[in-house]
Amino acid sequence: MRASSSRRALSGGAVLNAQPKRSIWRQIWIKRWCYLIILPGMAYFILFKYVPMYGIQLAFKDFNIAKGITASPWVGWSNFELLFRDREFFLALKNTLIISYMQLLLFFPFPIVLSILINEVKPMRYKRSVQTILTFPHFLSWVIVAGIMMNILANNGAVNNLLATMGVEKYNFLTDKGLFRYILVFTLSWKEAGWSCILYIAAITGIDPSLYEAATIDGANRWHKILHITWPGILPVVLITLILRVGSMMDAGFDQVMNLYNNTVLDVADILDTYIYRITFQRMPNYGFSTAVGLFKGLTNCILLLSVNAVCKKINGTSII
Amino acid sequence: MKTRLFALFLALLLTLACVACSAPASQAPAKEQEPAAPAEENQEAPVVENDNEFAEHVTFTMNTTSDPPAENDALWQYYTDKFNFSVDWIPLQYAERFDKLRIWIATDDLPDVVWIGLNDVIYSEYVTWMNSGMFAEVPSLDAYPNIRAMYDQESMLGDELCTFDGKLMSLHAMRDSAPYDFMLNMGIGYRADWAEKLNMRKEGDVYTWDEFMDLLQAFIDQDPGGNGAGNTYGLCTRMGYFPDILGIWQTNPTPWTFEEPGYIEMDGQYVWYPSTDSYIEGLKTVKGLYDRGIIWPDNVIDSSETLYRELYVAGQVGAMAQNLTLSWVSQVRDDMLEVDPTLDREKIYAIAKVSNPGTEDEFYQHAVASYWSCVAFSLKATDTQKDRFLATQDWNLSQEGVNLGLYGLEGTDFTVNEDGSINLLWKQDETGTYLDPYTFREYYTRLSVYDNAANFTNASKNPQDVEDVRSAMDWSLANIGDKVKVLDYVQTYTTTPNKDKLGTFTAQTKAKVIDLLANSTGDAIESEWRTWVAEMMPQVQPVLDDLNAYEYIPSDPKEMMEWVRNDGLSQYR
């Protein structure tokens, strides 16, 4: 049976090699079902990601809504000059980087550790229950989470009512600039850690069980198995998610910050996305200026992505490009 | 085969998802929103025969921040049958009224009939849009005599404001509020029953600033509502009105601006109001209240627009500042009585007349424009759509239209007594409150006239509430009526390159005020504010330079209104 299959393969290979080179259209036709599946995705990216790039020129124009994009006059770099003179922009940039790094340092490792811990749980029913409970908050919108945080931390919220009952003075947690970024990391971890685990648990599941069996025979304990089998097994996945995360460092979580922040913590909470939203939709709109901020953010993300990708490729051979 | 079918199915599904996600917002039908309460089941729409002039059925799209009339509302059916039209409503949250409008304009996706919540936040943009031909001209009003007559009132400015190059570009909803013109009763409602319990209520509810703040402090300390230690708050309001509505007009320059701090005339020149000593004094006063714990601590973070009211209704706050309109007062009282029917209606939300902290003989009152909001037509609106809309609005202003808007149909919902008074035939609940059988009147009939004062003669309103609000407004008129100014139409209805681009910096100012209230310590607020103002001035100065280049900078309201009537605005547009 095996010999017969091998012969067919060899013979097929020889036939393939002997065939004249097929046109690209012919190849597409042969794999048409695969391309059909790709088509809507490509259409989505072309329509909603590439076509709107036409609007990037706004960053170099004094946009007049009556004239439209094309007829509005070019102003060179003046929107960027305005940008680099704007105190709020630098504040937003600083906050974006700080919040992103905090998320990278405090949140990013959390689901990795969590998935390893879940993997070590032996009773299957308990393991699945834990996983389901941890995954559930992902399906709550940030509006709901913000409402929950208000109910917990506001002056007449649960925590303060508890403090008052114990005779302790109430504290305005939500106006404390020092606490706000930690509240962001905490809520992100609570909401997304379970969901992020799925990827790592899948990677752990893909590790050959015979490796663990061999390690057990060799006298390895749990810690040894995690360190020498599980961790190397999921490392490529960790690196890819790291590359993607760093590639979106300038996105510190619009939905989350928008719903949780308020004017009392604006100095430490205003990120580039909320800044763009405010200058575009909550003030006198200056679309050229807003586009300049967006373009700056996009380019920076792109540079970060390529840099981290190159570093990972050099160190580990893992990359996405 | 299965694989192919699956691939085909998946591709179709994804394509459908893409198409669904890209549907423009304006196509979202109003029906998807939660409908307003339906009319009573036995209420049937009277059969109406269309006039010949409305033989063709017309449908138009229109945005609204109120609940649209329910499809089965008998009065709405009567009305739409009469004028043979229907509306595809585009419901909005009130807080997103400007954001959505900007998006629609940027994407050329305006509804046919556009309601604009016109105020100082959007004036410059409004002028730019109208100047740029983003909207269609309003047809001649000669065919709509009631609308024409409304604009021709002598005491008000109307179509002068929305005429650009001789073309009428929108319809302002004029305020019909004589004798309280230009006066919006902003103020504080409070728990007079708690004050009586503490033996601190003043006759006529007239308080000096210190007396009232001491009363609120007593509410917090002595807890007359029995909420438990730390659970009674002094004073709360809606975030959008914070902090000036607390009675501290120094944080909102009442003369010459509207709603938000902006530019005011001082000694013949415009200055940025937040940079003045008066503003800083107001800021220090608010800070004092916040630090004393009189202001509800979460007022600085509450963006819900409703939480402050819920707290008051729940009996956790001693006073609440808001627009003291009849409908607001009635609704608050109704809600509180629903929670606890044993409460005294008059005392649970009594209207306090509290003097300003700086001047004990002056009282806070808001100056308003002669209109509230406006309606414009998009370029895609057809002549028939425009005509039908204007015909409905013109009829709304007739006596028959006013009565339909207030009560419904003569004979079915009301009869007119010999002395002209209204005999309402609506059902009443056990407290004697009339039960409105319709969802209709809340919105559509108020698009061309904002008839706040007309409520005082509205037979369906609670007589106690009418008396309380009217007496408060009469008291204000008698005491401070001559001090209430009008909007600076010169500053707001004109356009300059820098003003159009930079605006009034209202959002930044409000954000900084709230930041410093919560985070500044003690007297440092003054120096921190001055530092911030100094940082802002390079951005503000170009706007001031533009405004101060005007040949005419108004200092007298009557003179300014005359200047506007004589087409003065056109030279600065």
Q: Which of residues 525-564 of B touch A (CB under 8 A)?
A: 535
**Rounded Cα–Cα distance for residues B194 and A155 (Å):** 23
What are φ and ψ of residue A25, in 5° steps? -65, -35
Are both B144 and B261 inside the same structural domain? Answer: no
Q: Are residues B270 and B214 in the same domain?
A: yes
Same domain, B139 and B93: yes
B83 and B212 co-located in one domain: no
Regarding whether B262 and B223 lie in a shared domain, the answer is: yes
The residue among A211, A208, A200 whose CA lies nearest residue A234 is A200
| Amino acid B240: pLDDT | 77
Task: Compute the distance between CA of residue B266 and CA of residue B261 in angstroms, rounded to an integer.
Answer: 14
Q: For the residues A270-279, what does the mean pLDDT come to?
A: 91
pLDDT of residue B261: 57
Does B300 lie at the interface with A, CB-CB under 8 angstroms? Answer: yes
Domain co-membership, B149 together with B205: no
Q: What is the pLDDT of residue A321?
A: 75
Distance of residue B171 Cα from the nearest chain A Cα, in angstroms = 21
User: What's the CATH code, domain A86-316?
Assistant: 1.10.3720.10
A204 contacts A175 by C-beta, under 8 angstroms = no
The complex's ipTM works out to 0.76
The whole-number average pLDDT for the span A218-236 is: 94
Q: What is the mean pLDDT of chain B?
A: 83
Q: Looking at the structure, tell me whether residues B305 and B404 fall in a common domain.
A: no
- Rounded to 5°, angle at Cα B219 from B218 and B222: 70
Report the residue of chain B nearest A176, measured CA to CA. Answer: B519
- What pLDDT score does B50 carry? 58
CATH of the domain at B392: 3.40.190.10
Cα Dmax for chain A? 88
Contacts of A280 in chain B (CB under 8 A): 102
- Whether residue A105 has pLDDT greater than 80: yes
B117 φψ region: left (φ > 0), alpha (ψ -120 to 50), beta (else):
beta
Answer whether B133 touches A (CB < 8 Å). Answer: yes
CB contact under 8 A, B106 and A65: yes
A15 near B CB under 8 A? no
Q: Which domain covers residue B306, as residue numbers?
A: 183-367+461-483
Same domain flag for B352 and B412: no
B211-267 pLDDT per residue, tens: 999 999 999 999 999 998 888 999 999 887 788 777 777 777 544 444 555 888 889
- Residue B29 predicted with pLDDT over 50: no
Nearest chain B alpha carbon to A36:
B11
Mean pLDDT of A25-29: 89
| Stretch(es) of chain A classified as CATH 1.10.3720.10 | 86-316
Judged by average pLDDT, the poorest of A7-11, B280-284, B392-396 is A7-11
Residue B560 located in a structural domain: no
**Distance between CA B263 and CA B254 in Å, rounded?**
11
Q: C-alpha angle with apex B452: B448 to B457, nearest 5 degrees?
A: 115
Q: Are residues B107 and B190 in the same domain?
A: no
Contact A37 B301 (CB under 8 A): no
In the A/B pair of chains, how many CB contacts fall below 8 A? 111
Q: Are residues B318 and B197 located together in one domain of the fold?
A: yes
Give the count of domains, chain B. Answer: 2
The Cα of B35 is separated from the nearest Cα of chain A by a number of Å equal to 23
Q: Which of B473, B471, B493, B490 is nearest to B164 (CA)?
A: B493
Q: Of all residues in chain A, what percent carry a pLDDT higher than 70?
A: 94
Query: Which residues of A are less than 8 Å from B233 in CB distance?
Result: 156
Looking at the structure, tell me whether residues B335 and B194 fall in a common domain.
yes
User: Could you say which of B99, B231, B511 has the minimum Cβ distance to residue A281?
Assistant: B99
Cα-only R_g, chain A: 26
Residue B27 pLDDT: 39
Rounded to an integer, the average pLDDT of A24-31 is: 89
Contact A284 B98 (CB under 8 A): no
Name the token pair of A116. 């390893």
Question: How close does chain B come to A315, measured CA to CA in Å?
Answer: 38
B24-36 exposure pattern, b = at least 16 Cβ within 10 A, e = fewer: eebeeebeeeebb
- Write out chain A residues lying below 8 Å of B518, CB-based: 172, 175, 264
Instruction: Quickly state the pLDDT bin for A143 (edges 50, 70, 90).
Output: very high
Q: How far, in Å, CA of B77 to CA of B216, rounded?
A: 49
3-state helix, strand, coil in chain B (%, to 5): 45, 15, 40
Q: Are residues B153 and B140 in the same domain?
A: yes
Cβ contact, residue pair A278, B507, below 8 Å: yes
Q: With an 8 Å Cβ cutoff, is B230 touching chain A? A: yes
For residue B294, pLDDT beyond 90 = yes
Task: Give domain status of residue B393, yes or no.
Answer: yes
Secondary structure (DSSP) of A176-213: -HHHHHHHHHHHHHHHHHHHHHHHHHHHHHTS-HHHHH
Distance from CA of B210 to the nearest CA of A (A): 26
Residues in chain B: 573
Give the pLDDT mean for B430-454.
71
Q: What tokens were used for B203? A: 């006759």
> By mean pLDDT, which of A199-208, A286-295, B432-441 is the weakest?
B432-441
CA B439 – CA B62 distance, rounded (Å): 17
